[in-house]
């Protein structure tokens, strides 16, 4: 039973981290934007599942993030966490040759998006919700899992990298 509780807390913490990162906020930015109501160290401990999180506090935190509480309790395969903005580093994404066929469909889709939108800056691409949904289908995964994969590949641009 303890193992189940621990796993559930870790999954909730991971979802909270995804929600925060999808909104392009660092732990310090959460503290700043909440005027100190949410301390960076506390949010980090919730995300690592080092600290218990009551349902009331969870609801309050998700209200701050402007995300429905159901996003933390949906099945992972549905990808119901709303990812507001996803910006890809196109240079890094195009140069993922070591992954070959694993990323080829996504590379073709992203190439089509840039052509369709006539977005020729070639440096970054803001993905829309519909883009993320389509890419998740291509990868046969959820939007959340796809976001996590992009994070692992290091192809997302975060606000601190744009400065």
CB-CB neighbours of 155 under 10 Å = 22
Torsion over CA: 154, 93, 132, 120 (sign): positive
* Top-confidence residue, 159 or 26: 26
125 has pLDDT over 90:
no
- Measured CA to CA, the distance from residue 10 to residue 8 in angstroms comes to 5
The pLDDT, as a whole number, for residue 119 is 64
Q: Which residue has the tokens 């890419």?
A: 135
The tokens for 120 are: 């020729």
Quick one: 67 and 100 in the same domain? no
Quick one: 68 and 103 in the same domain? no
- Measured CA to CA, the distance from residue 86 to residue 136 in angstroms comes to 13
CATH of the domain at 34: 1.10.260.40
Quick one: 73 and 90 in the same domain? no
Quick one: 114 and 145 in the same domain? yes
Quick one: 69 and 95 in the same domain? no
How much is the average pLDDT of 106-127?
77
Could you write out the DSSP letters of every residue in 124-160? EEEEPHHHHHHHHHHTTS-HHHHHHHHHHHT-BPPHH
What predicted TM-score, i.e. pTM, was given to this entire model?
0.48
Q: Which residues contact 47 (CB under 8 A, 6 or more apart)?
A: 13, 14, 16, 17, 20
């Amino acid at each position: 039973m303890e193992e189940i509780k621990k796993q559930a807390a870790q999954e909730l913490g991971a979802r909270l981290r995804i929600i925060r990162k999808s909104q392009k906020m660092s732990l310090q930015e959460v503290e700043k934007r909440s005027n100190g109501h949410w301390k960076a160290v506390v949010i980090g401990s919730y995300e690592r599942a080092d600290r218990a999180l009551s349902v009331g506090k969870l609801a309050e935190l998700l209200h701050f993030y402007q995300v429905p509480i159901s996003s933390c309790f949906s099945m992972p395969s549905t990808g119901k966490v709303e990812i507001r903005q996803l910006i890809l580093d196109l240079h890094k994404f195009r140069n993922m040759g070591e992954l070959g066929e694993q990323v080829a469909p996504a590379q073709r889709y992203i190439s089509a998006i840039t052509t369709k939108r006539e977005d020729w800056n070639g440096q970054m691409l803001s993905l829309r919700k519909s883009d993320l949904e389509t890419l998740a289908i291509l990868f046969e995964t959820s939007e959340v899992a796809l976001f996590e994969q992009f994070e692992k590949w290091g192809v997302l641009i975060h606000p601190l990298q744009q400065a």
